[in-house]
Amino acid sequence: MNNNNKIDKEIIRKAAKSGDTSALVNSLSKEDKQKLNNILQDKNAIAEILNSPQAQTIMKMLGKGNKNG
């Protein structure tokens, strides 16, 4: 994380490109890691996040938003 408690864009880019999110997760604070774990254990929270307009935009940007595969 940088000094503003924001994740480095390069870490995000590498994680998206490689599919390896370990560096991204390891860059989180202890509190944010716990929040992420809590969300990942809640199927309803995951669905809500993935269906959000923000997530839809990101998926389209990453080429994953195409419903035809």
Mean pLDDT over residues 52-62, rounded? Answer: 89
- The CA angle 36-60-48, to the nearest 5 degrees, is 40
The answer to whether residues 23 and 15 touch, using CB atoms and an 8 Å cutoff, is yes
- Structure-token pair, residue 9: 């864009």
Full-prediction pTM beyond 0.85?
no
What was the pLDDT predicted at 2? 47
- What size, in residues, is the chain? 69
Percentage of the chain beyond pLDDT 70 is: 84
